[in-house]
């Protein structure tokens, strides 16, 4: 443990996924003024636990449920982004808002937790590239392409279980546009929650390395939220990262798990695809069951100690702690910079792919029933004239 803490003082522990912002909505409706993160005890995450767990950087999840799709997903996601910003403002001695690999290292030198944002679920965009860009400007640095529901342009992991039909055979043409635009922006593509088909399509076309922000190894626990060996190898070839999830159901495929079971996932990924693709993605505050010994974010150093006990070298541990993620983010930033002269993609998704009663069609020519006021006035005039013509004089 002494050696683990020493390594964690030299390299930031960067965690790919924590759902504290969702807990703040669920428990307090985002009323941060009513919460003290120094004393909060109804979550896996609070400031003392963060300090004890030596959390160097965190991708906080801006997550809203699939039920918001086609309704108020964008508004609710903006509110989750807002709560992360306010959290950093309320506790400046603990958190530093971050958007780059450079920011992460700067926060680490200041002994603060670098706070980045990932949006968990493509439904949060409402199928809009403009919304994607706006969220990037607000500091979002990864998008999980789907949560546990299909979007109008991508299939989610439940399709692979057979419980939901495939709608797009992976990614639709608009889904592919989105991947290209994310590369141009420098936003990381998160493949946790998608089908294997989508994983392969993105690995084929993305210029930047991809991430799995909170997924484990399918060979150890054959749950469709986990990553199969052939994909692990492709992630290695494309220099991406798989950040290991601690949720019991993805660790042992059962209700219970131990710390050593989590370490088995680290060992397996290292064996199959090398230490260069491994990271931490605990999923704290987003799950209901955690392994014995890993009950909250304060316990993460125990995983590091376990890996050292299993013969991992200092350099291997540092790679998994943070160096791999720093490399991936840095490479996405380089791809962004190389595409600097490229225009933003402003071709919208075809209206028939998103048409529903909650969506207007302004801007789409020939979009059907959503008539403009002038058209309605014309139709009304014609109807009145027809009525007058039919009325006997």
Residues carrying an active site annotation: 17, 19, 120, 147, 193, 214, 283
Q: What are phi and psi of 246, to 5 degrees?
A: -100, 0
**Burial annotation 208-231 (CB, 10 A radius, 16+ → b, else e):** bbbbbbbbbbbbbbebbbbbbeeb
Q: Is the distance from CB of 280 to CB of 17 less than 8 angstroms?
A: no
Phi-psi group of 169: left, alpha or beta (phi > 0 → left; psi -120 to 50 → alpha; rest → beta): left
114 contacts: CB under 8 Å, gap ≥ 6 = 12, 14, 56, 57, 58, 96, 98, 103, 104, 106, 107, 108
Contacts 24+ apart (CB under 8 A), 68-74: 68/123, 69/123, 69/149, 69/151, 70/126, 70/356, 70/358, 70/359, 71/358, 73/121, 73/123, 73/124, 73/126, 74/124, 74/125, 74/126, 74/128, 74/131
Number of residues that this document lists for the chain: 393
Tokens (6 digits) for 249: 């159901």
Tokens (6 digits) for 79: 């509110």
Q: Is the distance from CB of 116 to CB of 141 less than 8 angstroms?
A: yes
Q: Is the distance from CB of 211 to CB of 241 less than 8 angstroms?
A: yes
């Amino acid at each position: 443990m002494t050696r683990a803490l020493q390594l964690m003082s030299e390299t930031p522990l960067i965690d790919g996924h924590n759902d504290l912002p969702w807990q703040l909505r669920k428990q307090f409706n985002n009323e941060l003024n009513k919460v003290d993160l120094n004393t909060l005890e109804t979550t896996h995450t609070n400031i003392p636990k963060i300090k004890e767990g030596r959390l160097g950087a965190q991708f906080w999840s801006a997550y809203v449920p699939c039920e918001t799709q086609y309704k108020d997903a964008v508004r609710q996601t903006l509110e989750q982004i807002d709560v992360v910003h306010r959290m950093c403002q309320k506790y400046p001695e603990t958190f530093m808002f971050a958007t780059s690999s450079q920011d992460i290292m700067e926060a680490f030198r200041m002994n603060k937790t670098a706070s980045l944002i990932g949006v968990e679920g493509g439904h949060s965009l409402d199928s809009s590239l403009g919304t994607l860009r706006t969220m990037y400007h607000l500091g979002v640095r990864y998008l999980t392409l789907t949560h546990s529901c299909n979007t109008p342009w991508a299939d989610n992991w439940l399709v692979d279980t057979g419980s939901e039909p495939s709608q797009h055979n992976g990614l639709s043409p608009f889904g592919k546009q989105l991947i290209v635009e994310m590369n141009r922006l420098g936003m990381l593509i998160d493949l946790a929650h998608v089908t294997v088909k989508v994983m392969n399509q993105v690995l084929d076309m993305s210029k930047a390395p991809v991430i799995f922000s909170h997924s484990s190894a399918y060979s150890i626990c054959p749950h469709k939220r986990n990553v199969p060996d052939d994909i692990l190898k492709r992630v290695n070839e494309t220099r991406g990262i798989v950040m290991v999830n601690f949720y019991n159901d993805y660790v042992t495929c059962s209700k219970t798990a131990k710390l050593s079971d989590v370490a088995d996932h680290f060992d397996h990924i290292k064996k199959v695809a090398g230490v260069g693709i491994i990271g931490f993605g605990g999923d704290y505050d987003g799950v209901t069951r955690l392994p014995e010994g890993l009950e909250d974010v304060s316990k993460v150093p125990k995983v590091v100690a376990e890996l050292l006990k299993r013969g991992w070298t200092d350099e291997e541990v540092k790679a998994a702690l943070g160096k791999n993620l720093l490399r991936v983010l840095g490479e996405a930033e380089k791809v962004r910079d190389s595409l600097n002269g490229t225009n933003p993609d402003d071709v919208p998704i075809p209206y028939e792919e998103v048409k529903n009663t909650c969506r207007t069609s302004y801007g789409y020519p020939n979009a059907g029933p959503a008539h403009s006021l002038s058209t309605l006035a014309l139709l009304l005039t014609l109807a009145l004239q027809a009525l007058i013509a039919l009325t006997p004089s």
